[in-house]
């Protein structure tokens, strides 16, 4: 399944049905009076966040969504049938933007959350509605209200607890594959990851969701490489894991590059809690590890964890450091048998 996180849709609610002008015609009833019914209400367009989706790919093949019109009113005081609503099923974490791509109409962050995108038109009144003591035979009825037509943008921001950051080939996909059942593409060339991947990882009887996004390079905020297209997917994360390639000869510059891109992206992304880890330590000896760690700590101004996604060294410590930064209400506790301890 292909990944799509931004798309344009065209929606239109149904128009209301027109009212009816009708008079009661029955034998032996001299003054039947008006009996024209009202028109039905047009269908509305809704968006609903549902489970089981993590991409907007369905909206690549269908962009137009039109609700049904209400039926006109009929004689014998019969109201027209209401038009059927139509619902756009979107992944949790979808933002709905106006045509300018800036005004946020709704942010669907929970399963079952619904929002009305276009309200159906009201049905027109039939002539029965206008009957009065001074106008006992009205010959007027209202037309139905027109539907609403809108152009909207859907933008998906994946719901994850931890976001992975780093230069291409920093080992983000390897870390995700080693700690979860996710199977991202792994290779020894830059930009192996072309779209975000999600994985559920566990440590100390708890589980949380990790999002891996394509690697950033200097100038990503200006569109270089894959640019900052996917940074929005880590905006909702509680903590960021910054992986730095331990085999690089420019550790401080690598760290500064990612930090600069976060600041250029804007928002509060650069201010989010971060855990910094020196990856690929399995190919370094003890002296090289100590030197690399010291240099990275001086550049970051904080503690640096050592790990190897391939060998599994230090992975549990990194997961525990991430878990400590996640609010308890976001964690999912994994049930376990009393006589069978669970291990991450």
CATH code (residue 187): 3.40.50.300
| Comparison of pLDDT for 338 and 77, the residue scoring more | 77
| Binding-site residue set for Mg(2+) | 173, 193
Last residue of a domain, one of 100, 135, 156: 156
Total-model pTM: 0.78
| Binding-site residue set | 166-173, 191-195, 212-215, 279-282, 308-310
Residues 213 and 287 in one domain: yes
Residue 208 lies in a domain: yes
H helix runs in the chain, sequence order: 58-61, 172-179, 251-265, 286-300, 315-324
pLDDT of residue 120: 97
pLDDT of residue 70: 97
Band of the pLDDT at 312, cuts 50, 70, 90? confident
pLDDT at 1 over 60: no
pLDDT at 338 over 70: no
**CB atoms inside a 10 Å sphere around CB 326:** 18
Contact indicator for 37, 79 with CB cutoff of 8 Å: yes
Residues 236 and 100 in one domain: no
Last residue of a domain, one of 156, 183, 218: 156
pLDDT at 2 over 80: no
Phi and psi angles of residue 243, each rounded to the nearest 5 degrees, phi first:
-95, 130
| Binding-site residue set for GTP | 166-173, 191-195, 212-215, 279-282, 308-310
pLDDT of residue 23: 93
pLDDT at 32 over 50: yes
Residue 189 lies in a domain: yes
Residue 320 lies in a domain: yes
Residues 106 and 207 in one domain: no
Band of the pLDDT at 3, cuts 50, 70, 90? confident
Residue 342 lies in a domain: no
pLDDT at 340 over 50: no
Last residue of a domain, one of 126, 156, 186: 156
Distance, in Å, from the CA atom of 123 to the CA atom of 139, rounded to the nearest integer, reads 17
What is the tally of structural domains in the chain? Answer: 2
Burial of 52 (0-12, 13-18, 19+ CB in 10 A): exposed
Residue 339 lies in a domain: no
pLDDT at 107 over 60: yes
pLDDT of residue 155: 92
pLDDT at 341 over 60: no
Residues 152 and 170 in one domain: no
Which domain does 57 fall in, by range? Answer: 1-156
């Amino acid at each position: 399944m292909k990944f799509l996180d931004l798309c344009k849709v065209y929606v239109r609610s149904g128009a209301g049905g027109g009212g009816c002008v009708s008079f009661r015609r029955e034998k032996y009833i001299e003054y039947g009076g008006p009996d024209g019914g009202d028109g039905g209400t047009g269908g509305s367009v809704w968006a609903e966040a549902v489970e089981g989706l993590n991409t907007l790919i369905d909206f690549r093949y269908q962009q137009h969504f039109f609700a049904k019109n209400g039926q006109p009113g009929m004689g014998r005081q019969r109201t027209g049938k209401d038009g059927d609503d139509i619902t756009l099923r979107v992944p949790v974490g979808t933002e709905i933007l106006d045509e300018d791509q800036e005004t946020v109409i709704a942010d669907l962050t929970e399963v079952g959350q619904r929002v009305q995108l276009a309200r159906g038109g009201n049905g027109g009144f039939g002539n029965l509605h206008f009957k009065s003591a001074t106008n006992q035979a009205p010959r007027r009825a209202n037309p139905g209200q027109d539907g609403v037509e809108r152009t909207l943008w859907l933008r998906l921001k994946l719901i994850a607890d931890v976001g992975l950051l780093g230069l291409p080939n920093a080992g983000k996909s390897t870390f995700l594959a080693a700690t979860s059942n996710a199977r991202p593409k792994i290779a020894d060339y830059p930009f192996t990851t072309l779209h975000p991947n999600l994985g559920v990882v566990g440590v100390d009887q708890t589980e949380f969701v990790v999002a891996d996004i394509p690697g950033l390079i200097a100038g990503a905020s200006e569109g270089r490489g894959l640019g900052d297209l996917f940074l929005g997917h880590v905006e909702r994360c509680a903590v960021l894991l910054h992986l730095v390639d331990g085999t690089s000869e420019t550790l401080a510059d690598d760290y500064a590059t990612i930090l600069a891109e976060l600041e250029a992206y804007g928002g509060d992304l650069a201010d989010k809690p971060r855990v910094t880890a020196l990856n690929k330590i399995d190919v370094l000896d003890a002296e090289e590890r100590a030197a690399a760690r010291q240099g990275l700590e001086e550049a970051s101004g904080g503690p640096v964890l050592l790990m190897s996604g391939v060998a599994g060294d230090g992975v549990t410590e990194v997961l525990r450091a991430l878990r400590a930064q996640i609010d308890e209400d976001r964690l999912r506790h994994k049930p376990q048998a009393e006589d069978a301890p669970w291990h991450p």
